[in-house]
Each structure stands twice: as C-alpha cells, then as structure tokens.
Amino acid sequence: MKRTAFPRALTVLAALVATAASVSPAADAPKITLQPIYEGVAVERPVALVIPDDGSQRRFLVEQTGKIKILPADEGGTEATVFLDMTPVMGVEKDFEEGLLGLAFHPDYKENGRFYLTVSRQGPKRLVLAEYTVSKDDPAVADPTSERILMQVQQPEWNHNSGNIFFGPHDGMLYFCVGDGGRRNGVHLLSQKLTSWSGKVLRLDVDERTGSRPYGIPADNPFVKTPHAAPEIWAYGFRNPWGVTIDPESGIFYLADVGQDLYEEINVVEKGGNYGWNFREAAHVFPGQAALMEALGQKPGPPKDAVLIDPIHEYTRVDGLSITGGFVYRGEAIPALQGHFLYGDWRFGNLWALRYDPADKSVVNHLIEKPADVANPTTQPTGFYPDEKGEIIVLDWRGAIHRIVPVQ
C-alpha cells in the first residue's frame, strides 16, 4: 500500500503550523457524513473497488491480502463470492505495502473477459502486471490458469510499490503506476532515470504487440524516440502514487503522490512531465537529497535543463501523513461536490474535495471530514470509488466500507 515517515522533530511540526492553511479554503463546504455499508461482509484491507463496464453492475472488491471478491447486490447483504484468490501465487515479505494492489477491467470486458491486476512476488522481489480472463463456464469466477504476464518491475525494497492501474477513458490505454523502489530519500535514484520503470506512470496498449513485448508501445508515448529511455514511460519523478484517475468529462489526470517527511501532494499529470522526486518533495527542495548525493559522490540538485512541474496542491504534517487519492465526483446526491476531486489522509482520516480550474490553475479545497480523534478516525481511507450511479464509496484500511452521503 503506502507509507510515510513521521517528522524528524517537533520543531519541524511547529514550524509547519504557521503555513498549514489549505489553498483557497471556502466557507460553503458541503456537509457530509460517512455511512457504513456491507457491515455483514468480512473485509480485509480493501484497496480497490471496480465495476466493469459489462452491464452487470457488479462491484469487485480488491483485498490487499490476496482476494478479489464480488460484493452482494444488497449493501445490507452478508455473502460475498470469491472471484479470484491470488494468495497461493503472490509473495509478500512485508504485508504493509506488498500484496494484491490493483485491478482494471478491459474496456471490452463484456466481450473478451480480460482483466488486469498488479501483485507482489519474491525471488527476485518484483511487482507483476498480469492479464487474466474470466472462466468460460462461470462469469462469477476468474480462470486462475489464464495468467499472461505483461511486465515484471524489479523492486529493491518492500515498500513504494504503488501498483495503481486503470484504462484511460478516451484512449483505451492501460496506465500503470510504479513507486520509486522504496526506502527513504529515494536512495535508489530511480524516479529520475528514464532507463527505469520505477517512480513512473507507464502507458501500454494491451491489444497490440511491439516486437517481442507482450504488449504494445503507443506511438504517441513521449519517450518512444528518446535514446535508451523506456518507451513505456508517460510521466516520471514520482515517489509512491496512490490514488490516480483521469476524469472522463474534463480529461484531467489527477495523481496523489505520498510524501516522505513534510508534504503530501496532488499532481495534474502531463505527457512527458517530470514531477520532481527526489529533487523535490511536493513544490519544495527536498532537504535529504543533497546529503544523499554527496554520500554517493554525485552532484546534488536537478540538471540545469530539468523542468520540474509543481503539484496543484499540497498539505503538511499538520493535516496528515499519507495521501490517498480518489476520483472526480459526477454524481447527483451531493451537488456541491460536482467536479471535485475526492481525496483523504490515510493516517489522520481527514477527507477533502478539491476543485481545480485548468484555465487559471486555481484550486478550491474543502475539508469535508475532520475526525474528532485522529488516533481513531471514522475511516482510514485506502481509496475513493464511484458506484454504478457515480456516488461515493470509501474503503477503510481497517476492513470497513462507507458511503459519503449528504447531511439532511
């Protein structure tokens, strides 16, 4: 999943308090509440909820511990069926961030029965992107023998896997997010290397083949003609993306990137963009980078020709320790949230709704849930997902599922 370190000293936290205001806070934040659903279903560390575009309106719940479950149609139901159990074939050294991490159904899933997932394996340690198909005899069960491996990303450490995957709503390409390889300070220096898949958003065509690859390289990927660069790269300079989406209406690509010591950030991803890690943490010079580079006998700081893109929003340790991104709300139940990107903090349980205007690059940020006790928040969000009507479902790391509903 994702993790961030606590501040190094209380003096750092105190210094941040003075600058911890949200961007353009608005007084008219919508009033919402978190309503528990599926209380009768056993849920273990949920990390994704995906509804395939096959007309069935089935909700597939991904548990980091290895199972994909089909939730009951009735939110008060108690019986969930297992669609696929990956526990026999995945490998986990530390279960805090490794495991079953992502699921995406092919846009033509109704016809071809293909879906994609990301999972940890060991010996060597790696993050695997694989294709599976549904059983030919039973649409409620996957065929575990149908695995076709697309990519295996070497993971130096157990953390910062990311593994978020989704299909672009307009181009039909598969987007695959990979963390920086783990440990502190970006010590492996992979996010800035175009020769590496780590610390990147990758973009693949799963319906084609390029050379001996089991997938196609889209011709419009930005580094296709760059010598020695991995042609799968769409954007780079990330630490540990957790919560990504392309809004079908606006086309804006939002990515929440988990920080290390001081900041959490939300980026708008552009083709070929460099988002700065580990030269920067959010929009700030990363203080640990200079010492690391000195220890490695290399020059600190970015190259002179580097163009680093600032996040559209960031928050400090006053507001949380680990960001979870979501999606852009287009439902009808809460009109005041229309067009807002939903996100929260996994550790503190704060939830926000952010509205971004690409014309003037302005941000309005609503705090919509602030727990009375950060040691026991209402939810520790691992994901925000739309149901079949576009309404908001929040997954809780501790094994719960909630709806965001308006206060009447």
Mean pLDDT, rounded, for 330-342: 97
| Cβ contact 134:141 at 8 Å | yes
In this predicted structure, the answer to whether residue 136 has a pLDDT above a threshold of 50 is yes
* Bigger pLDDT: 6 vs 44: 44
The answer, yes or no, to whether residue 50 has pLDDT greater than 60, is yes
For residue 332, what pLDDT band results from cuts at 50, 70 and 90? very high
Distance, in Å, from the CA atom of 167 to the CA atom of 188, rounded to the nearest integer, reads 29
Instruction: Give the Cα separation of 190 and 197 in Å (integer).
Output: 8
Residues 160-177 have a mean pLDDT of: 98
Distances in Å between the alpha carbon of 406 and those of 24, 35, 75, 97? 23, 10, 18, 33
pLDDT of 51 > 50? The answer is yes
Q: Answer yes or no: is pLDDT of 9 > 80.
A: no
If you average pLDDT over residues 145-168, what whole number do you get?
A: 97
pLDDT band (50, 70, 90) for residue 29: confident
Query: What mean pLDDT is predicted for residues 30-38?
Result: 96
Taking phi first (over 0 means left), then psi (-120 to 50 degrees means alpha), and beta for anything else, what does residue 246 get?
Answer: beta
Q: For residue 305, give both structure tokens.
A: 């020709």
Judge if the upstream peptide bond of residue 350 is cis by omega within 30 degrees of 0: no
Q: First-to-last CA distance in the chain?
A: 35
Residue 303 above 70 pLDDT? yes
Partners of 354 in the beta sheet?
Answer: 341, 365
Place of tokens 């006998």: 297
273-to-36, 102, 113, 233, 365 alpha-carbon distances in Å? 39, 23, 33, 10, 24
pLDDT, position 30: 86
pLDDT-derived band at 155 (thresholds 50, 70, 90) equals: very high
For residue 107, pLDDT beyond 80: yes
pTM for the whole structure: 0.93
| pLDDT score of 309 | 98
Q: How sure is the predictor about 408, in pLDDT bands with cuts at 50, 70 and 90?
A: confident
Distance CA 52, CA 133 (A): 13
CATH number, span 44-331: 2.120.10.30
Least confidently predicted of 1-15, 149-163, 325-339: 1-15
Distance CA(295)–CA(185), nearest Å, equals: 12
Percent of the chain with pLDDT over 70: 93
Cα–Cα–Cα angle for 401, 56, 206, nearest 5°? 90
Residue extents of the structural domains in the chain:
44-331
pLDDT band for position 100 (50/70/90)?
Answer: very high
Residue 349: per-residue pLDDT: 98
Three-state secondary-structure class, residue 4? coil
Residue 362 has pLDDT above 50, yes or no: yes
CA distance 405 to 134: 34
pLDDT band at 10 (very low <50, low <70, confident <90, very high): very low
Read off the pLDDT of each residue in 282-293 and give the average, rounded to a whole number.
92
Mean pLDDT for the stretch of residues 262-282: 97
> Across residues 355-365, what is the average pLDDT?
97
Selected residue with higher pLDDT from 86 and 287 = 86
Q: What is the pLDDT of residue 178?
A: 98
E-state strands within 273-350: 280-281, 284-285, 313-316, 323-324, 341-345
